[in-house]
Amino acid sequence: MKILKAIIASVAVVCISSPAYAYEEVPVTDGGTLSGTVTLQGDVPKPKGYNLTTLPDQIYCGRISDGRGWRLLQPFNVGKNGEFRQMVVHLEDIEKGKPFGGYTPPRIEAVDCRFMPFVNVVRDLHDIVVVNMDPAFHDIQAYETSQLGPRVLFNVPLPISKRYPNEIGLSDHFHKHYEGIPMVQTVKMTKGRRIFTMQCGFHAYMESWALVVDHPYYAITDENGKFEIGDIPPGTYKVTIWHPYLHEAYEQVVTVKPKEAATAEFNVAAPTGRLYANQMVENAFVRYTITEDVQSQIVPTLEKQTY
């Protein structure tokens, strides 16, 4: 229930419209391209904070922590010059165009107590693959959601690889990643919902989000905040961007000419204020005391997080 409430609280309030038509795959011989960048203007919001003493596997998962017993989750992946990474850019209401091609189900890995990648794109009525790469139990709690609230899609455990010994302790295996049995699930969205999300039932800081699409005209911004969408039929389109924690709608109207390149630049105002109930703050109030003995065991040997 706590996880469900967290998802309700963190869902972006931006309404993503749902097409009332079926996308038609047709040959595109005179298509153009759309490219551009997405930039965050302002300070990157504070991350979420989780007291590791209240959750399982605090020593293993604490290899990524702040050195004071807290695990941080930063939903905003932004470069030093504002490059907004892992932002979904897509065309709205495009009725026909290039085929999806050989669709490969997205692979989401549970690695170092993180679901990777954090942002993805999923095709409705198709599969996703989730794999546990950790020597720790994880559990998929998957939801579809919108401004109407969440609805459970599936809830399944993620098997641990049999290559790990029964007693892992602090052996060399503790730092290795072996693939467990991949769990394949089909995403079936209810009409009017286009946001898919997963959390781990044991580790609340493990999240993964996706925009569910019904056409291939989308891109996810790269390390430089850039995107490119090709083979677009000539015409005028509305281009939108989506991120699960961006609460403001951003869209542009662009005209794509035959075999020409169009551009769209998005400057996103950094959200301000308290974005989530468990937002990390300086000198965070510690509800459950982290004793020196416990804190000495939670060592950020893989990554010391800052905020």
Query: How do 261-269 and 32-41 pair as beta strands?
Result: parallel
Q: How high is the pLDDT of residue 287?
A: 55
Structural domain span for residue 108: 2-304
3-state SS assignment for residue 231? strand
Residue 227 carries which side chain, given as an amino acid letter? Answer: F
Question: Which two three-digit tokens encode residue 17?
Answer: 């419209």
User: Which residue in the block uniquely carries the two structure tokens 């720790």?
Assistant: 136
Task: Provide the residue count of the chain.
Answer: 307
The residue ranges of the chain whose pLDDT is under 50 are 1-2, 4, 8-9, 13, 170
Q: Check: pTM over 0.85? Answer yes or no.
A: yes
Residue 146 carries which side chain, given as an amino acid letter? Answer: S
Count how many domains the chain has: 1
Within 10 angstroms of residue 117's Cβ, the number of other Cβ atoms is: 16
Q: How high is the pLDDT of residue 18?
A: 53
Residue 71 carries which side chain, given as an amino acid letter? Answer: R
Q: How high is the pLDDT of residue 173?
A: 52
Q: How high is the pLDDT of residue 170?
A: 45
Interacting residues of 131 by C-beta distance below 8 A, sequence separation 6+: 107, 108, 109, 110, 158, 179, 180, 182, 183
